[in-house]
Chains A and B, each alone.
Chain A
Amino acid sequence: MILRRLLSLYGLLFFVFVYAPILLVVIYSFNANTLNMMIWDGFTLDWYRQLFGMETSLTQSATFVDSTDQLWGAVRTSLIVALSTSVFSTVCGTALALAVARYRFRLARFYRTLMMLPMIMPDIVLGIALLIFFITIGMNLSMMTIIIGQSTFLISYVFVTVSARLAEVDTSVEEASADLGATPAQTFRKVTLPGIAPGILGGWLLAFIISMDDLVITYFIAGTGNTTLPIHIWGLLRRGIKPEINAIATLMLLFTLVIAAAGLYFRSRRQK
């Protein structure tokens, strides 16, 4: 009995440990105290209003910047990068997964291992390597270098997600399609693609979220004019923690949850 209670307590503590900080960020984002965000001083939406450039009762000293243009610029950069990177990675990662799963060629297993490598590579090593690479080939750091750099490891994530799905799809279905007269292209469009669509969608969403979130690698390969949201937040933090950071974090959390929920929803619909 005691052991069971201890286990329950341990479980509870575990979730508190994991989620309490996140919950605090959300709570503090509604805190009206402008001087010390650790002390609750009543409910306000001012931090959100401020982010969206609306009238607030906040004084200049309470916030980071005069205007939030920089913030929204960073959001825009992040969205463009995440969208391009995730689409590019999804196409390449899916193609690679199909090749490794469906064709027999030498070194297929070696390829599979090679594709896993970028995921376990330390971010900082990858960041430095990419930076050196871009400098060596004389490519100026820009949004393009961020997109190329992020794709190098996001392709791996898509590859793994789609490969897992492909392993579940029976190859005899593709043979049945060919047997009934479908060309390889028709078989791919009508049978293979619908079969692995949940994996592709999952891989794409994963790549999108990781891209939106990546700081370390992007930090190395982003030029001065291309600040992504994580880099922008990192910059803000260096000037001290101000309450509006909580509102930004909460919005990012919400955004990620919505995307993940959408992914799960589409998956469950497919399986019906």
Chain B
Amino acid sequence: MTPFDTHPAGLLPAGSQDRTPMPSPLEIIDARKSFRTPEGGTMTALDGISLKLASAEFVTLLGPSGCGKTTLLRTISGFETLDAGEVLIDGSAVTQMPAHRRPVNTVFQRYALFGHMSVARNVGYALEIAGRDKREIRTRVGEMLELVGLAGMEKRSIQQLSGGQQQRVALARALAAKPKLLLLDEPLSALDKNLRQKMQQELKALQRELGIGFIFVTHDQEEALTMSDRIAVLAHGQIQQIGAPTELYRTPANLFTADFLGESNLLPVKVAGGRASLRDGQSFATEHRAGEATLLLRPEALSITPPEGHALSFTGTIRETYYTGTDHQIALETPAHGTLHALLRSGAALPGLGAEMTLHAPAQGLHLIDEAAP
């Protein structure tokens, strides 16, 4: 048993109990928000976003800067108000509720710790505000610090801590009041690579242990793939696609998602009569509707040795090779398709730069994107 078990049904507000036994931790319905720019124009940050957490999920909002992900997070925490739409937390509408009354807590990008308070007072802040008694706060702060691996650091001042430790204090502080939902605004972006990977794993484990919903904002696609139960890819204030990491990686719905998540080779195809044909005349069977479409070939789908059965082959000149230890990254310049990127297991015998080479991909289970290639 951890101190974070979700509230037993009997403790839930009566209103939320009537609808469903277990309300969704977060539901956003057709959220719209635009800002006035300093130049006098308007900028649409959220253009009709709907999102519902099925249960205590780890959902990542992924997108380039300016895609609306931070605005969306701020409308959940209550720092921005929507022009139109609804936000429901744990089954009750909070759209008009000010930030300090919402049952969510946030881990801020640059931690936003209170520099004039000790670690213990930072972590206990929410409980102190709620007027809990000192003994209870002390116990809870101790538990929280132990949870994030900072046991015994109560008396330290914030300035004495390293970046990684500050990150943990911010996490403990946000979790101390047992929020229904934890919001994380690019919390790992200030950490170095090793620490970031360690924290990614810890956050994921923590979310499972606590059993509450996490909404994680990042522009780092690798981070999103590693941690999330589901990823919502955002661009231009809209959700481009939402789904499990593997689903988004293998079967992206549009070119933006395909391009933003991972490396990709995007080849234009024409579909007619149940077959898709490439520019160079090669073709394969597909169930995709007739018309123009785009074939997605991930770099790791290409190989030197031809697979069993029907395969697509691409012959070209090697323009670049990078060795990463586990893999060789290759840029192959082909006459019909331009430059293709391939990821080959190291150990394969590779011809040198400028040499000719043929790569193969199995012609089954290929994913077509219902959008003409750029």
Contacts and interface: CB of A to CB of B under 8 A. Distances in A.
A180 B79 contact: no
A179 B100 contact: yes
B11 interface: no
Contacts of B129: 180-182, 186
Interface in B84-114: 98-101, 104-106, 108-110, 112-114
A173 interface: yes
Contacts of A186: 129
A177 interface: yes
Contacts of B105: 179-180
Interface in A139-181: 170, 172-173, 175-181
Contact of B108 (A176, A181, A182): A176
B108 A175 contact: yes
Contacts of A53: none
Nearest to B157: A272
B173 A180 contact: yes
Contact of B126 (A181, A183, A191): A181
B177 interface: yes
B116 A183 contact: no
Contacts of B104: 179
B1 interface: no
Contacts of A176: 106, 108, 112-114, 173
Contact of B77 (A179, A187, A191): A179
B126 A180 contact: yes
Nearest to B128: A190
Given A172-B108, A172-B110, A186-B129, A178 B100 contact: yes
A157 to B, nearest CB: 25
A175 B123 CA distance: 15
Contacts of B116: 194-195, 270
A181 B112 contact: no
B213 to A, nearest CB: 16
Interface size classification for chain A:
20 to 34
A52 to B, nearest CB: 42
A172 B112 contact: yes
A191 B130 contact: no
Given A179-B105, A181-B100, A170 B112 contact: yes
B125 interface: yes
Interface in A215-258: none
A166 to B, nearest CB: 15
Contacts of B108: 172, 175-176
A182 B112 CA distance: 15
Contacts of B109: 172
Interface string B114-142: 11100000000110011000000000000
Interface in A176-210: 176-184, 186-187, 190-191, 194-195
Interface string B185-202: 000000000000000000
A194 B100 CA distance: 20
Given A172-B110, A172-B112, A175-B108, A181 B79 contact: no
Residue of A178, A183, A190 contacting most chain B CB atoms (<10 Å)? A178
Residue of B104, B109, B115 contacting most chain A CB atoms (<10 Å)? B115
Contacts of A270: 116
Nearest to A184: B100
A181 B103 CA distance: 8
A187 B98 CA distance: 14
B84 to A, nearest CB: 22
Interface in B137-181: 173-174, 177
Given A186-B129, A191-B114, A181 B177 contact: yes
A184 B311 CA distance: 65
A170 B113 CA distance: 10
B110 A177 contact: no
A23 B239 CA distance: 73
Interface string B30-73: 00000000000000000000000000000000000000000000
Residue of B100, B104, B174 contacting most chain A CB atoms (<10 Å)? B100
Interface of A: 170, 172-173, 175-184, 186-187, 190-191, 194-195, 270
Instruction: List the 5 shortest-distance A-B pairs measured between CB atoms, nearest first.
Output: A176-B112, A180-B126, A172-B112, A178-B99, A178-B100
Given A172-B108, A180-B173, A190-B114, 19 more contacts: A170-B112, A173-B112, A175-B79, A175-B99, A175-B108, A177-B125, A178-B78, A179-B99, A179-B174, A180-B126, A181-B126, A181-B177, A182-B100, A182-B125, A184-B100, A186-B129, A190-B125, A194-B116, A195-B115
13 contacts: A172-B110, A176-B106, A176-B113, A177-B114, A177-B125, A178-B78, A180-B125, A181-B100, A181-B101, A181-B129, A182-B125, A183-B100, A194-B116
